[in-house]
Structure 1
Amino acid sequence: MALVTSPHLDTIHQLFTPLQPTVSGDAGVVRYVEQQPDLRLAPLIHCYWQLASHQPLTQPFVYRVVADGCIDLFFDLISPDDVFVMGLSTTYTEFPLAGPFNYVGVRFLPTAFPLLYHVDASELTNRVEAFRDVVPTAAAPFTNLIGGHTTLESLKSRLDGYFIDRFTAASLTPDRRLFGAIAAILTGGGQLNVLSDLDAAVSHRQLSRLFQRYVGDTPKVFSRIVRFQQLLNAKPSVQALQQNKVFYDLGYYDQAHFIKEFKTLYGQTPGSVLSGEATPGEATPGSAAQADGQHP
């Protein structure tokens, strides 16, 4: 089945790579993996992920989610009747997990979840809600889909089929003005002045409403997250931060502004994260084995 998406959605996929910290600690007891969705879903879903510990832990594992601009759908395969949605996060969030647990999630690229399920993203911002309360008609079929699986590998093809069918039936009609502004923010690395540099053929007030409806917050907040994510992707050394002041290149006013914003969005200082001294459960900015988006 062919999945028809918009060039605007392809633009987000091409310009934006949301990163989460790698999972570390607990002597390998906690395992994180992620898989890419079917290529037809790439403009809409960044990845599927699994965070699991199949035995009790000596102490709670603190799973940290940093601001990444995405919305996640997630569930514990140990009790798959409970499916949750985590909206856009404008700060970091920590989840103490005692284990055993076997979480699987779907990380949607910005705008994809609201377009698919016709929900207002701003009503989910900085919140975790039961899927049945957000989209009552979709919860039961999705729960039936995931039941009986214990690994992401066994579930992936069913998730692919489900979302291809859902997105094909959804007849996505992205607003060109919104996606033009998103593309400009992503191209500029989040460093645009959203009041003067965005030419979206729409008033700033109306553009702000569109961002809140489909992204979860204002263009200014989304730009802050994009700029932060650009830093995680760049992975500058601590020496580059201290001596070359690369935070100026990313549009931060000064070092104090940079550190404060980084701690708000990540939960630790940039020095501890980029030097690899972050505490277990967060570690350094990840690539293929990163810990994601929203959970327990």
Structure 2
Amino acid sequence: MLAPSPRVQVVRQDSPNGGWMLALGQPDPRLSGYVRDYCGYFEKTPHPLRRRELSAPQVVLIIDFGPPLHLLDSRDGSLVARHTAGFVAGLHDTYSLTETPGTMSGLQVNFTPLGGRLFFGLPMDELAHRVVGLEDVMGSDGPLLREQLLGLPGWEARFDLLDRLIATRIQAARSVPEWVDWAVRRLVETGGRVEAGTLAEELGYSHKHVIARFREHVGVPPKLFSRICRFDGVIRQLKAGARPDWGSLALSLGYYDQAHFIREFRQFTGSSPGEFLRQRMADPSGMSGV
């Protein structure tokens, strides 16, 4: 049996015009290599609200309690999709754009790339750079999971259910090669500061073989995964409240120079670092990168 669900941390902010709530939870420790965290959420605003959802070294499962999020084209803001039960987002090389109709409620599970591979039972390159409806990934099990979660009395019970379901599906899945697991952890732990060629040499495989297996089990080649890990390091520092000297931050995280850092930052966020930071300060809920 899995251990009891960890304590749930609830953060709220209310105002005359609405407010938001986050229920933050960690998975059972035995799932730590597969699930990064859980987040239940509710938000109400007086008008529709758009956000940029940023790349991170994770596969995201959104279970939508309603109304459903609108997924928009980041180039022109046009509606791309609206998935009633929820959706799954694989690794991306840029940001995604979402819009709420003024109210949203749901639950987010952030899988590690290999956790997503095992839980969904799909080659991750089928999900990379895509947002796919929950029913298209999980079949009838997706809407059923949504109804089960909605029927539970609180966030702790919901996270307990997710612990059990994820453990069951992962135990039944085909394992991922140990060297892929090792390579992914190495890139995450170093913040992406290992060159793809060096990684292949350390593993004793050809560069081509490493790229192919990464595409299958992670979704993207190791070079792009390294870039995502490095960018995630930037966002983690900003979420921790840092008001950094951008040049020093760039060098500390492995960028060649500040110009390299700014190019990468624009690729992943669509804006300059300064503009991004101003927008983030205007969104204190922390429910997105903006």
Alpha-carbon deviations, 1:28-85, whole Å to 9, x = none?
61333321122222221111112312x4x32222233111111111122236961311
1:131 counterpart = 2:134: yes
Q: Is the 8 A contact 1:122 1:212 kept in 2?
A: yes
1:58 counterpart = 2:46: yes
| Local SS of the residue matching 1:166 | helix
How many Å apart are 1:203 and its aligned residue?
1.5
The one of 26, 36, 40 aligned to 1:46: 36
Equivalent-residue separation in structure 2 for 1:34 and 1:168 (angstroms): 25
Counterpart of 1:8 in structure 2 is none
Q: Which moved more, 1:215-224 or 1:22-31?
A: 22-31
In structure 2, relative to structure 1, the CA distance for the partners of 1:34 and 1:238 (3 Å cut) is closer
Figure out how many residues of one structure are paired with residues of the other and give that number. Answer: 263
How many Å apart are 1:144 and its aligned residue?
4.2
Counterpart of 1:118 in structure 2 is 121
Counterpart of 2:166 in structure 1 is 163
1:215 counterpart = 2:218: yes
Equivalent-residue separation in structure 2 for 1:246 and 1:79 (angstroms): 39
How many Å apart are 1:117 and its aligned residue?
2.5
| Local SS of the residue matching 1:103 | strand
Counterpart of 2:185 in structure 1 is 183
Q: Where in structure 1 are there 5+ consecutive unaligned residues?
A: 4-21, 284-288
Which amino acid in structure 2 is aligned with residue 175 of structure 1? P
Q: Is the 8 A contact 2:13 2:19 kept in 1?
A: no
Q: Where in structure 2 are there 5+ consecutive unaligned residues?
A: 4-10, 69-83
Give the structure with the larger strand fraction: 2
How many Å apart are 1:228 and its aligned residue?
1.1
Equivalent-residue separation in structure 2 for 1:23 and 1:205 (angstroms): 48
| Local SS of the residue matching 2:230 | helix
RMSD: 3.1
Q: Which moved more, 1:212-221 or 1:192-201?
A: 192-201
The one of 218, 225, 230 aligned to 1:227: 230
Please identify runs of 4+ aligned residues in structure 1 that moved more than 4 A: 22-28, 235-239
Counterpart of 1:240 in structure 2 is 245
What TM-score do you get using the length of structure 1 for normalisation? Answer: 0.76
In structure 2, relative to structure 1, the CA distance for the partners of 1:23 and 1:87 (3 Å cut) is farther
Q: Is the 8 A contact 1:268 1:278 kept in 2?
A: no
Q: Which moved more, 1:72-81 or 1:247-256?
A: 72-81
The one of 146, 150, 160 aligned to 2:149: 146
Greater relative contact order structure (CA < 8 Å, 6+ sep): 1
Q: Is the 8 A contact 1:47 1:108 kept in 2?
A: yes
Which amino acid in structure 2 is aligned with residue 71 of structure 1? V
Counterpart of 1:11 in structure 2 is none
The one of 19, 24, 30 aligned to 2:20: 30
Alpha-carbon deviations, 1:154-177, whole Å to 9, x = none?
42222222222222333x522122
Which amino acid in structure 1 is aligned with residue 246 of structure 2? L
Alpha-carbon deviations, 1:144-198, whole Å to 9, x = none?
422424753442222222222222333x522122123223323432122212343
How many Å apart are 1:291 and its aligned residue?
2.3
Q: Is the 8 A contact 2:94 2:267 kept in 1?
A: yes
Q: Is the 8 A contact 1:73 1:105 kept in 2?
A: yes
1:192 counterpart = 2:216: no
1:67 counterpart = 2:55: yes
| Local SS of the residue matching 1:102 | strand
Alpha-carbon deviations, 1:78-117, whole Å to 9, x = none?
3696131111122111211123221211110121111222
Equivalent-residue separation in structure 1 for 2:224 and 2:113 (angstroms): 13
Equivalent-residue separation in structure 2 for 1:130 and 1:247 (angstroms): 36
| Local SS of the residue matching 2:188 | helix
How many Å apart are 1:248 and its aligned residue?
2.3
In structure 2, relative to structure 1, the CA distance for the partners of 1:239 and 1:160 (3 Å cut) is closer
| Local SS of the residue matching 1:196 | helix
Which amino acid in structure 2 is aligned with residue 160 of structure 1? D
Counterpart of 1:253 in structure 2 is 256
Identity percentage over the alignment? 27
| Local SS of the residue matching 1:78 | coil
